[in-house]
Amino acid sequence: MVYKTVEVLGTVPEIGIELDREKETGMEIQIRYYSQTGNTRKLAEAIAQTIHISAETIEKPIKEKTDLLFLGGAMYAFGLDPKLKAYIKNLDKDKVKKAAVFCDSALMRSVGNKIVKLLKEKDIPVCNDIFYCKGQYKGTAKGHPDKNDMENVKEFAASMIKNM
Ligand SMILES: Cc1cc2nc3c(=O)[nH]c(=O)nc-3n(C[C@H](O)[C@H](O)[C@H](O)COP(=O)(O)O)c2cc1C
């Protein structure tokens, strides 16, 4: 989906309301995620909200040439789910110019590096910053991703786009 920014045109002084309009950047951005219990989906949706495009699961193929792919996943039984692994292995390198990884786990931070490793094996360039936060699993990391995590992932998304 083409990413749009909101351009502030000015303020109507009498009522203090800002006039704005959506401006197309021409940048093609996609969000894909794999989520078993909903935590990674929440992060994906926060990114989607920030950049005004929809977040899709890895079931939805990438058809257009994409400038930036936000790819999200989590840790299960010390590794990535085979479905996410297969998805990355089958990504078309010519369709994805760059990827930005967001991820979560109850404890293990290495999840992001696992995703990055697979992307690099496909020769897909990856943004240096990886977004990571805790994700609740039973009694561990209760309440995560929390409000703070959601704000942080939004900031991460905005900064990845700015640095493109
Ligand atoms: C079946 C299962 C296995 C998990 N194994 C691990 C693990 O090995 N290490 C870890 O840090 N977290 C583990 N977790 C926690 C998840 O990584 C964490 O809850 C994450 O936020 C789940 O993302 P999701 O809700 O998008 O599926 C596991 C969660 C589930 C459901």
Predicted local confidence at residue 23, as pLDDT: 59
Number of C-alpha atoms within 13 angstroms, CB side, residue 67? 13
Predicted local confidence at residue 26, as pLDDT: 73
Q: Is 53 in the pocket of ligand 1 (CB under 6 A)?
A: no
Which residues in the chain show pLDDT less than 70?
A: 1-25
Q: Which helix (H) or strand (E) holds 85?
A: helix 82-89
Cα–ligand 1 centroid distance for 76 (angstroms): 5
Q: Is 104 in the pocket of ligand 1 (CB under 6 A)?
A: yes
Predicted local confidence at residue 8, as pLDDT: 62
Q: Is 112 in the pocket of ligand 1 (CB under 6 A)?
A: no
Predicted local confidence at residue 163, as pLDDT: 87
Predicted local confidence at residue 107, as pLDDT: 97
In a 10 Å sphere around its CB, with 0-12 CB exposed, 13-18 middle and 19+ buried, how is residue 131 labelled? buried
Q: Is 136 in the pocket of ligand 1 (CB under 6 A)?
A: yes
Predicted local confidence at residue 9, as pLDDT: 64
- In the chain, the amino acid numbered 47 is I
- Give the separation between CA 92 and CA 70, rounded to whole angstroms: 15
Minimum-distance ligand 1 atom for the alpha carbon of 144: 21
Length of the chain, in residues:
164
SS3 content of the chain, % helix, strand, coil (to 5): 30, 35, 35
Looking at CATH, the fold of the domain delimited by 26-162 is given as Rossmann fold (3.40.50)
> CB of 115 within 8 A of CB of 80?
yes
Predicted local confidence at residue 24, as pLDDT: 61
Kindly report, residue by residue over 129-163, the tens digit of the pLDDT: 999 999 999 999 999 999 999 999 999 999 999 88
- Give the separation between CA 161 and CA 59, rounded to whole angstroms: 24
> Hey, which residues does 133 pair with through a beta bridge?
104
- Give the separation between CA 109 and CA 104, rounded to whole angstroms: 8
Parallel/antiparallel/unpaired status of strands 17-33 and 68-74:
parallel
Q: Is 39 in the pocket of ligand 1 (CB under 6 A)?
A: yes
Parallel/antiparallel/unpaired status of strands 2-12 and 17-33:
antiparallel
